[in-house]
Every structure is written in C-alpha cells, then in structure tokens.
A and B are shown apart, each in its own frame.
Chain A
C-alpha cells in the first residue's frame, strides 16, 4: 500500500516535471509573448511613473496631442544609465511634444528574439536597437522602415556620419539603420611588462605575437603572452584584416549569402593555423569563450596582451586601477602581408514600420537627437563607444575624454585607417555561425585537429544552417 502510494507520487512528480519541461521549450511563441506583455506593461508602468514628475513641467507648457513612441534597447549597467540620461533629456527638451518610453529588453540576443515574438502579435516597438550581426535578418524581415527613407524625407546630411561606420549598415546604397553604439576590437597590452622585457615594437600580427611571447614571459614577468578568448567576432575581424570575404555574394551585401566563402578563399585556414601556432607554443593558452573571457587575465596582470572591444576600455582601466600602464594598439593581422582593416561591432537603431506617420516622424526626431554631436560626445565619454557623428570630435566633452584616456585614440585611428571595403559580412544566421566557429576552434585546440579539417567542419555546418534558413524564409 505504502509502496503503491509512492509510485503514484513518483509518477505524478515525473509527469509534472516532464510536462513543465516540454512546456518551457515547446511553445516559445505563446510563452515568450505572454511573458513579454507582462514585462512590457510593468516596465512601461514603472518608466512612466518614474518620469511622471519630470514630465509635468514640460507637459503643461505644451499643448496638443502627445506622440508616444517606444524604444527597445539592450544597454544595461553604466551604458544603460547613460542612455536613460539622453532619453530623459530628449523628453524634456524636444519641442514637438514627443514622449519616448524606453524599455530595456535584455542582452542583444534576447532583444532580437523578443522582437521576433512581438512582431507576430504586432505589438512591438517603434524603434529598436539591434546588434550588428542581426542586420541581414532585419533587412530581410520586412518589418522596418529603412532609415534612408526618413533621412531623404528630412534632407538630413548622411556625410555627417563616420563613413566606415555608415558603410557597415549601408546595403544597396541605402542606410538601413542608424548606427548608434559602434566599437572595434583592439589589442590591449601591459606597457610595464613590455618595458621590462625590453620590447619596443608592439606586435602587429599573430606571428609577431608568437615571436615576443617567450621574452614577455621570461623577462617581462608575464604569466602568459596573450589571453586570447575564443570569440566569433575576432574570427570575423581576422577575415576583414586579410581583406577576404566571410560569405559569398559580396560578403552577403549584394544579395543574401548562400554559402560561406572563408573555406574556399583560405581565410579560415590562415586564421586557424596562426591561432593554433600560438596555442601550441604556449603563447595563447585557453582562457575560455566569449568577448570578455580574456579581459580578467589581463586586468589581473597575468597576461601581457589581450584582444577586446574598444567598448571595454573603460572597464579595463577601472579594473587595472593604475597597477600598470595600459597600452592599446591596432587589432593584429593574421600574416604580415595583410592589408585589410577592421569592421565595426556594436548595434544600430532600426525604425519599425507601424503604419503611423506621426510616430514615424517622432521616431526620426528622436534618432536625430541621439546621433547629434552633443549626444554622441556625451555617449562616447560615458561608454567608450565611438561617436558615430564626426562633428562630435569638436565637442569639448569629447576632447576632454580623449585627453583623459589617450588610449582611445588608437581606436579612432584604426577605424579611420580601415576602408569601407572591410565593412564586414552580413549573414542571416550570424548568431548561429558565430557559435559554430567558437565550438570548432575549441575542438581544434583541445583535440589537436588540423586547421584544414576545422575549416571544412565550420563551413559544412554554417552552410547547412544557411540553406535551411533560405529554404523556409526565402
């Protein structure tokens, strides 16, 4: 009897656990959109409650209908505070009676996934911040008003934008989205270790890093020469540095890509060979995966170099806290003869087509405000992202910031030294491709696989993802 009851209990427990597991994975649309409405309404309520006080003054002075627009973004922490400051400023200062409600939607990946779910119910935002690798997806989605339309309608001068940044988001000669927070990868190095080892020339390529590695460890007192995290973005940048395409159809810019190009043009094998050499010689041990995996080793004074985004500069300087002098240099080439540049990362602003002209106009006003020299100079100083508007360089805030953090100059020079041709690839399944690249690099280093095999494995998996995507979304 007792045993029977236990069985029933076990059975029931199993059933409920199983079903709840299936429930959480099976109907993502229903599930996420329901959850979404909830968070959206609650965060909207919070935001409006918080802003109610500051609004009162501006609302009473202005008359007529207020245009409400919703802005989805992925800026948390310090960056989120800086963005909130700009939004509040816009809400208070704009004379067109526009009110922007900002909603934080989690990381870039979360935000784009929420958008996908929200668009089914047609309850999305007016303006969304989407990461670089979501560009092709957004263009193909048919949900957006190309930024160029708004620009042309207003006669706004596109040449105000940093050309190499605008190039990334320009497809078919149309600027599809407004660049907002852009970064490039750079090489961070520990100046004290380089001085101690007596190295005056900062390595500018992966093989050059390998050459100084021993000296840095032996004489410079480094625990490891470089903490090179396994990050798909770096792989993409190494392609740009070689001036070689990642995917076909003009790097996915002339038309949607149908397959990868890095296997046939040799870009991948070059990268993987250089990477593996650094690993086997001990110069670049495994430090993990993702954008910031290598930063801790650097900040804690263990590694003499690391690769990272310019947007991490502030964080790195804060973490190092004067323990040693931080130097910055150009992102390394794959071989000494490479002539390419770097492309940008970060995110841009997409206007969604909600069939409402008043909102469209209001969205454009807000976008214009965000990329104004003044806003961009503030944004740059607070976050370390590039000012996307060249005129921001004349702002005092920007000059002060550059004087305080001269390391940031490297990033700007590097961007100006690149050409729009190294704008980087567009690919619908980029998030997945990045994962595949990272996994295969890990496999290569751990299992001592050959660079050639690894490259073909990457190509095979990404190609199958591309053809799957084109099959059902074409």
Chain B
C-alpha cells in the first residue's frame, strides 16, 4: 500500500514535470511543419543551384551569396529597401501618432474619426494598390486631373519609390493608430491636470508627458513597423513590378521574381537568408 502510493506519486511527479510540454506538442508540431522546416530548407537551398523544378541540383557553397554581393542589382535592391523602410516608418508612425492624439479627446463624431484613422488596417494592400494605380494613371487618373499635371508617376524613377512608400506608410498607419491610442489611454489623465496647473502649455505637455508615457509602446511600434516595411510586397507587385528600371525592386519582390519567375530558388533562398539576418540584426540592435 505504501509502496503503490509512492509509485502513484512518482508517476504524478513525472506527469506534472512533463505536463507543460505535452501542451506544447500541437503548436510545436504545427510550427515545425510550417515554419521551422521551411526555414531550414531555405538555408539548405541557399547553398545550391536549383534546376527548373526547383530541386537542389548543384552544391555551390556560398557561391549564391558571393554572386549576390557582387551583383549591382542586389546591392541596389538593398539600398532601395533601406530608403523605402525609412520613408514608410516615418510616415506611418507620424500619421498614427497624429491620429491618435487627435482622437484622444472626446467630442461628437469621435467614433467616425477613429474608424477612419484605423481603417487602413482593414484594407488589403493589393486592393489599395489597385485603387492607387487608377488614381495615379497619367491620362485618366484623378491626381493629374486635380493638379493639372501630366506626370507618369509610376513610370518615373524620381516618384515611383516615394509613391509606393507613401501608400505603404498610409496602410501601416492604421495599426500604429491603434497602438498609440492604447498607449495614450494608459497615461494617467491627472498628470495633465497637474501640469496645466503648473502652467505647462500643450507643446511642453506633449514633449514631457505624452512622449515619455508612450515610450514603451513607441519602441514596440518601431520594431513592428520596420519589420512590416521590410516585407512589403503586394504594392510593388501591382503598382510597379519593381520598375521603372530597378527603382522599386524591394528585396521581397526581388526574392519573388527570382524564385517564381526565374525559377532560381537557390539565389532566392540566399536573398531570404540575407533579409532574415538583416532584420534580426536590426531587432537585436534595438533591444
């Protein structure tokens, strides 16, 4: 009796030690199939040249990487992506922040305005891009009609990247608006009252109270925004296909083109790994 009860308790101990892991099994299984396996396969493929079926055929070691760093197109793609990310992050954060501050006060119609500012979140990037394409069309687009200009916006390398970035920034601003609204709501109202009693104007209140209060959420938003901007794809695919020239050939689009158009999975995989390393470094740097 004593013996069996100790065995039961031992089983119970073993069970309680393993129990948490059992709960993890389903998710680990799913993650392994859909995330880890493809991830390691990507690294594996990046060391090979692939045939027309996308199968690894010829081991080239770091040959794909070497080719990439010697190719001016890829360097250009990195540079374009960097410029793009900077524009997108600035625009989306600024729009989100302004929207959130404006909607922080209660006034009639507040619901309408907060919905309007959060709306870009709900729009698929591809459909927004389709609408933009029509708006920017040189002969039938409303932009040229309103401005009385005759500019082929998306075919001109001076404007194409900036326009795609503005669209992306606007699309991303919806989620930023949400983050910032949540952040603002968590700042204690009473400190503003005390500050205004002490004679602080709205600008000082913003700089010394709002911004510090937002700083944790601000940090998180920057990280998420950068990652999101790096991975923009649909807009480029629909608006410019990487053109004119290579002016909007963002890295993810360049991966897509290499993999599914040129059927060179090896170099596409190498590009994916490089993108992964870049984003990882940036994120670690910011932590």
Q: Is the interface of B mostly helix, strand, loop or mixed?
A: helix
> In the complex, are the beta carbons of B49 and A289 less than 8 A apart?
no
Is B79 at the interface (CB under 8 A from chain A)? Answer: no
Is A145 at the interface (CB under 8 A from chain B)? Answer: no
Tell which of B121-129, B199-207, B215-223 binds the partner: B215-223
Which listed residue (B36, B49, B139, B269) contacts A300, Cβ 8 A? B139
> In the complex, are the beta carbons of A116 and B245 less than 8 A apart?
no
> In the complex, are the beta carbons of B58 and A472 less than 8 A apart?
yes
Is B167 at the interface (CB under 8 A from chain A)? Answer: no
Q: How far is the CA of A297 from the CA of B139 in the complex (A)?
A: 6
> In the complex, are the beta carbons of B227 and A14 less than 8 A apart?
yes
> In the complex, are the beta carbons of B53 and A439 less than 8 A apart?
no
> In the complex, are the beta carbons of A18 and B38 less than 8 A apart?
no
Which listed residue (A14, A297, A442) contacts B279, Cβ 8 A? A14
Within the complex, the shortest CB–CB distance from A265 to chain B, in Å, comes to 25
> In the complex, are the beta carbons of A26 and B42 less than 8 A apart?
yes
> How many residue-residue contacts, CB under 8 A, span A and B?
163
Which listed residue (B36, B152, B262) contacts A285, Cβ 8 A? B152
Q: How far is the CA of A141 from the CA of B52 in the complex (A)?
A: 9
Which listed residue (A18, A27, A428) contacts B280, Cβ 8 A? A18
Tell which of A354-362, A381-389, A429-437 binds the partner: A429-437
Q: How far is the CA of A473 from the CA of B54 in the complex (A)?
A: 11
> In the complex, are the beta carbons of A446 and B283 less than 8 A apart?
no
Is A314 at the interface (CB under 8 A from chain B)? Answer: no
> In the complex, are the beta carbons of B261 and A109 less than 8 A apart?
yes
Is A113 at the interface (CB under 8 A from chain B)? Answer: yes
Q: How far is the CA of A302 from the CA of B155 in the complex (A)?
A: 17
Q: How far is the CA of A462 from the CA of B36 in the complex (A)?
A: 35
Is A13 at the interface (CB under 8 A from chain B)? Answer: yes
> In the complex, are the beta carbons of A29 and B220 less than 8 A apart?
no
> In the complex, are the beta carbons of A28 and B261 less than 8 A apart?
no
Is A31 at the interface (CB under 8 A from chain B)? Answer: yes
Q: How large is the interface on A (under 10, 10 to 19, 20 to 34, 35 or more residues)?
A: 35 or more
B192: A residues at CB distance < 8 A: none
Is A30 at the interface (CB under 8 A from chain B)? Answer: yes
Is A45 at the interface (CB under 8 A from chain B)? Answer: no
Using known A-B contacts A28-B260, A300-B139, determine if residue A288 contacts B155 with beta carbons closer than 8 Å: yes
> In the complex, are the beta carbons of A27 and B220 less than 8 A apart?
no
Is B180 at the interface (CB under 8 A from chain A)? Answer: no
> In the complex, are the beta carbons of B53 and A26 less than 8 A apart?
no
Is B140 at the interface (CB under 8 A from chain A)? Answer: yes
> In the complex, are the beta carbons of A21 and B252 less than 8 A apart?
yes
B42: A residues at CB distance < 8 A: 22, 25-27
| Beta-carbon contacts under 8 Å, A31-65 to B | 31
A288: B residues at CB distance < 8 A: 152, 154-155
Q: How far is the CA of A439 from the CA of B76 in the complex (A)?
A: 14
Which listed residue (B224, B245, B275) contacts A10, Cβ 8 A? B224
> In the complex, are the beta carbons of A287 and B155 less than 8 A apart?
yes
Within the complex, the shortest CB–CB distance from A227 to chain B, in Å, comes to 8
A465: B residues at CB distance < 8 A: 262
Is A321 at the interface (CB under 8 A from chain B)? Answer: no
Is A438 at the interface (CB under 8 A from chain B)? Answer: yes
A28: B residues at CB distance < 8 A: 54, 259-260, 265
Contact with B along A453-474 (1 / 0, CB 8 A): 0000000000001001101110
B245: A residues at CB distance < 8 A: 439, 442-443, 446-447
Contact with B along A7-25 (1 / 0, CB 8 A): 1011101101111111101
Within the complex, the shortest CB–CB distance from B277 to chain A, in Å, comes to 10
A9: B residues at CB distance < 8 A: 220
Is B107 at the interface (CB under 8 A from chain A)? Answer: no
> In the complex, are the beta carbons of B259 and A439 less than 8 A apart?
no
Q: Which of the listed residues A21, A285, A465 has the most CB atoms from chain B within 10 Å of its own CB?
A: A21
Is A255 at the interface (CB under 8 A from chain B)? Answer: no
B52: A residues at CB distance < 8 A: 116, 137, 140-141, 428, 469, 472-473
B155: A residues at CB distance < 8 A: 286-289, 442
Within the complex, the shortest CB–CB distance from B197 to chain A, in Å, comes to 28
Q: Which of the listed residues A2, A25, A289, A446 has the most CB atoms from chain B within 10 Å of its own CB?
A: A25
> In the complex, are the beta carbons of B228 and A302 less than 8 A apart?
no
> In the complex, are the beta carbons of B272 and A22 less than 8 A apart?
yes
Is A264 at the interface (CB under 8 A from chain B)? Answer: no
> In the complex, are the beta carbons of B275 and A472 less than 8 A apart?
no
B265: A residues at CB distance < 8 A: 28
Is A223 at the interface (CB under 8 A from chain B)? Answer: yes
A445 to B, closest residue via Cβ: B244
> In the complex, are the beta carbons of A442 and B261 less than 8 A apart?
no
> In the complex, are the beta carbons of B54 and A439 less than 8 A apart?
no
B262: A residues at CB distance < 8 A: 429, 431-432, 435, 465
Which listed residue (B140, B216, B280, B283) contacts A296, Cβ 8 A? B140
Within the complex, the shortest CB–CB distance from B139 to chain A, in Å, comes to 5
> In the complex, are the beta carbons of A25 and B228 less than 8 A apart?
no
> In the complex, are the beta carbons of A3 and B39 less than 8 A apart?
no
Contact with A along B129-146 (1 / 0, CB 8 A): 000000001111000000
> In the complex, are the beta carbons of B243 and A116 less than 8 A apart?
no
Is A78 at the interface (CB under 8 A from chain B)? Answer: no
Which listed residue (A14, A31, A286, A435) contacts B283, Cβ 8 A? A14
Q: How far is the CA of A208 from the CA of B205 in the complex (A)?
A: 69
> In the complex, are the beta carbons of B49 and A27 less than 8 A apart?
no
Within the complex, the shortest CB–CB distance from A117 to chain B, in Å, comes to 8
| Beta-carbon contacts under 8 Å, B254-283 to A | 255-257, 259-265, 268-269, 272, 275-276, 279-280, 283
Within the complex, the shortest CB–CB distance from B6 to chain A, in Å, comes to 39
Residues of A within 8 A of B (CB): 2-3, 6-7, 9-11, 13-14, 16-23, 25-31, 109, 113, 116-117, 119-120, 137, 140-141, 223, 285-290, 296-297, 300, 302, 428-429, 431-432, 435, 438-439, 442-443, 446-447, 465, 468-469, 471-473
Other than the given A296-B140, A472-B58, 10 more pairs (CB < 8 A) read: A6-B219, A19-B31, A21-B252, A22-B42, A22-B272, A22-B276, A25-B269, A29-B54, A300-B140, A438-B243
Residues of B within 8 A of A (CB): 31, 34-39, 41-42, 45, 49-55, 57-58, 137-140, 150, 152, 154-157, 216-217, 219-220, 223-224, 227-228, 231, 241-246, 252, 255-257, 259-265, 268-269, 272, 275-276, 279-280, 283, 287
Cβ contacts A to B, 27 pairs, < 8 Å:
A3-B216, A10-B223, A10-B224, A20-B35, A21-B272, A21-B275, A22-B35, A22-B276, A23-B35, A23-B39, A25-B256, A26-B41, A26-B45, A285-B152, A286-B152, A286-B156, A289-B241, A289-B244, A300-B139, A428-B52, A432-B261, A432-B262, A439-B242, A439-B243, A439-B246, A442-B245, A472-B50
